[in-house]
C-alpha cells in the first residue's frame, strides 16, 4: 500500500475489515442468535450459550491487534488463527462463568417487575452486570498474554480494576458505547464495528498489561539475569503499542507470567 498517509489508511482499513470478518465468523452462533431470535427473556439462556464462543474470539482478536503492533507485516488471518489456537481454552474457562452469572442477572432484571422485585434490587443487578463485564474483559486480556490460573487471573483483574483505573474507565466507556450502538441502531452495526472495538480495547488495557507484566516478571527477570525477553530461557515477549518490551508473553509456570520450566511453550 505504500508508506504515505493514504497507504497507511487503506492498510488500516483492510486490517480492520479482515479482523471484523474473522470475529463475525468465530462468533457466528452469537451473531445469528441475536439477529434471528426475538428479544424475549425466556430465550436468554440460548443467547448466553451462544456467547460462549465470544471469549475465544475476542482473545484471538486482541492477540491479532498486538501482533500487528509487534510486526506490521504480519497477516491478520495468520495472527488470528495462532491466537485462537493458543488461547481458546484459557479464554473459554475465563468467560464461561461470566456467561452463567450474566444470564442469571439478565433473567432477574427482565423478570423483576413482573415478580414484584424492588427497583433498587433491579438497579443493583444492572450495576453488578456492568462491573462483571468490565472485570471479565480485564481477566480475559490478562489470560490472553499471561499463563495464569483462572483464580489468579480474576484476582489480578479485580486488583487492576482499581489500580489501573484509567484502563477500567476506558473499558467501561467501550462497553457503554457497544450497548448504545446495539440499543439505538442494530446488532448488525455492532458486528461491523467489531474490529475497531477490539483495537480500541487493546489500547484501553495496554497500561494494565504493562503494570501487570512489570509486577509479575520481576522475580523471573532476576532469576534469568535478563529482562525476561529473549533471555537464556528462550522466552519471547510482546510489545504494547510498540513500546519497549515489558516481558508480556504466553508461557511460564502456572500462577505466574513467566517461568523457566516451560518457557516458550506458548510464545
Strand partners, 238: 248
Q: Which three cell numbers stand for residue 180?
A: 448504545
pLDDT at 223: 36
Angle at CA of residue 17, ends 16 and 20, nearest 5°: 85
* Residue pair 11/2 in contact by the 8 Å Cβ criterion: no
Compute the distance between CA of residue 176 and CA of residue 173 in angstroms, rounded to an integer: 5
* Contact (CB, 8 A) for 181 and 187: no
Distance CA 49, CA 51 (A): 5
**pLDDT of the residue at 35:** 76
Q: What is the pLDDT of residue 63?
A: 94
Task: Give the integer Cα–Cα distance in Å for 60 and 48.
Answer: 20
Per-residue pLDDT of the chain (267 residues; tens, 9 = 90+): 566 677 777 777 888 899 999 999 998 888 888 777 766 667 777 888 888 899 999 999 999 999 988 887 788 999 999 999 999 999 999 999 888 888 887 777 766 665 566 667 677 778 888 899 999 999 999 999 988 889 999 999 999 999 999 999 999 999 999 989 888 887 888 888 999 999 999 999 999 999 888 876 554 443 333 232 222 222 233 334 333 344 444 433 334 443 322 333 333
Q: What pLDDT, on the 0 to 100 scale, is given for residue 3?
A: 67
What integer pLDDT is reported at residue 222 of this predicted model?
39
**In this structure, how many other beta carbons lie within 10 angstroms of the beta carbon of residue 84?**
19
**What is the Cα–Cα distance from 64 to 199, expressed in whole angstroms?**
9
Q: What contacts 50, CB < 8 A, 6 or more positions away?
A: 29, 30, 32, 33
| Residue 207 Cα to chain centre, angstroms | 14
For the entire predicted model, the pTM comes to: 0.77
Residues 6+ apart with CB under 8 A from 160: 138, 142, 167, 168, 208, 211, 212
Residue-level pLDDT at 51: 86
Q: Are 232 and 241 in contact (CB under 8 A)?
A: no
254/226 Cα distance (integer angstroms) = 21
Three-state DSSP at 177 gives helix
Amino acid at each position: 500500500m505504500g508508506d504515505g498517509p493514504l497507504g497507511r489508511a487503506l492498510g488500516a482499513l483492510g486490517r480492520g475489515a479482515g479482523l471484523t470478518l474473522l470475529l463475525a465468523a468465530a462468533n457466528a452462533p452469537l451473531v445469528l442468535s441475536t439477529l434471528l431470535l426475538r428479544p424475549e427473556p425466556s430465550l436468554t439462556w440460548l443467547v448466553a450459550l451462544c456467547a460462549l464462543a465470544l471469549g475465544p474470539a475476542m482473545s484471538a482478536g486482541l492477540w491479532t491487534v498486538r501482533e500487528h503492533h509487534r510486526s506490521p507485516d504480519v497477516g491478520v488471518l495468520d495472527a488470528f488463527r495462532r491466537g485462537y489456537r493458543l488461547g481458546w481454552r484459557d479464554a473459554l474457562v475465563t468467560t464461561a462463568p461470566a456467561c452463567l452469572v450474566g444470564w442469571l442477572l439478565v433473567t432477574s432484571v427482565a423478570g423483576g417487575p413482573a415478580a414484584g422485585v424492588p427497583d433498587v434490587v433491579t438497579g443493583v443487578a444492572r450495576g453488578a452486570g456492568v462491573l462483571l463485564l468490565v472485570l471479565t474483559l480485564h481477566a480475559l486480556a490478562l489470560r490472553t498474554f499471561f499463563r495464569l490460573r483462572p483464580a489468579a487471573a480474576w484476582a489480578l483483574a479485580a486488583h487492576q480494576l482499581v489500580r489501573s483505573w484509567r484502563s477500567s474507565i476506558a473499558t467501561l466507556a467501550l462497553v457503554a458505547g457497544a450497548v448504545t450502538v446495539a440499543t439505538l441502531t442494530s446488532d448488525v452495526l455492532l458486528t461491523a464495528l467489531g474490529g475497531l472495538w477490539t483495537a480500541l480495547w487493546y489500547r484501553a488495557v495496554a497500561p494494565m498489561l504493562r503494570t501487570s507484566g512489570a509486577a509479575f516478571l520481576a522475580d523471573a527477570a532476576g532469576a534469568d539475569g535478563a529482562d525476561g525477553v529473549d533471555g537464556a530461557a528462550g522466552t519471547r515477549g510482546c510489545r504494547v503499542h510498540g513500546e519497549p518490551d515489558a516481558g508480556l508473553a504466553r508461557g511460564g509456570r502456572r500462577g505466574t507470567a513467566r517461568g523457566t520450566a516451560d518457557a516458550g511453550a506458548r510464545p
